[in-house]
Amino acid sequence: MTTAAGPAGRLGRSTPVVESTSLVGSYVSLTFDDGPHPVHTPHLLAVLREHGVTAVFCLSGTQALAHPHVVRAIAADGHVLGNHGMDHDDMSGWPDARIQDDLERTTAAVRAAVPGAAVPYFRAPYGRWGRTPEVAARLGMRALGWRLDVADWEPPGTDELVRRLSSGVTPGAVVLLHDGGGDRGQTVEAVDRLIPRLASRGWHFTTPARRS
């Protein structure tokens, strides 16, 4: 199933969404949604390992249950795990109880593969937030937004992805990419080309801010 970030939903000012790192300067965070994928996620992990980059993987509960060995591989490489809902549903109109049930089941699916795993972030499918940030906060998760979405879910071609990433990245940005939800070979190739390109320009890779 091909999925997209879509337009972001509205948030109250009392519920900030993390969209930047906590570091000043040429730092950027890579985040990946909709996995784990049995083919593309391992390829992406190999690329990140080669370049020494740690990222955030916002996992689908259904995919985590289907591919627990890939969840374990993500955790074993030291990446941060995030909650992306069980089935990529739009939760923006859901009541708190239904949201909580979905988020708890998703975290349980991740921890079925990696018992006791920390899951510090939640990202709303399609970026449609509704009441999800408040519910996620009660479950100990920060709402993880993004500053740069290059629409790799289309997909537009590897060269175009590299161009969008290279020209669109800004200091401290959280970048939204996808390792699942369809054929993500272009994303993997683009990341492999992007990291050394940015590194040669003095950029560093880190994880998003943990505190507002």
Residue tagged 């988020």 (tokens): 103
Mean of pLDDT over the chain: 91
d(CA 189, CA 106): 29
Q: What is the CATH number of domain 27-205?
A: 3.20.20.370
d(CA 184, CA 43): 10
Domain locations along the chain: 27-205
Catalytic residue among 149, 178, 179, 192: 178
88 is catalytic: no
Bridge partners, 177 (sequence order): 32
Burial class for 69, CB neighbours closer than 10 Å (0-12, 13-18, 19+): exposed
d(CA 152, CA 164): 10
Tell me, what's the pLDDT at 3?
43
Helices (H) and strands (E) in the chain, counts: 7, 8
d(CA 3, CA 166): 23
pLDDT over threshold 70, residue 4: no
- Backbone phi, then psi, for 159, in 5-degree steps? -60, -40
Coil, helix or strand at residue 24: coil
pLDDT over threshold 60, residue 11: no
Q: What is the DSSP letter of 144?
A: B
Tell me, what's the pLDDT at 16?
61
Provide CB contacts within 8 A for 134, sequence distance 6+.
15, 96
Overall average pLDDT of the 88-101 stretch: 98
- Please tell me the pTM assigned to this model: 0.92
43 is catalytic: no
Catalytic residue among 33, 34, 149, 179: 33
Instruction: Summarize pLDDT for 104-156 with one digit per residue, the tens.
Output: 999 999 999 999 999 999 999 999 999 999 999 999 999 999 999 999 999 99
Tell me, what's the pLDDT at 210?
62
Instruction: Summarize pLDDT for 42-80 with one digit per residue, the tens.
Output: 999 999 999 999 999 999 999 999 999 999 999 999 999
CB atoms within 10 A of CB 140: 11
Q: What is the percentage of the chain residues whose pLDDT exceeds 70?
A: 90
| Cβ atoms 132, 99 nearer than 8 A | yes
Going by pLDDT thresholds of 50, 70 and 90, the confidence category of residue 18 is: confident
Going by pLDDT thresholds of 50, 70 and 90, the confidence category of residue 1 is: very low
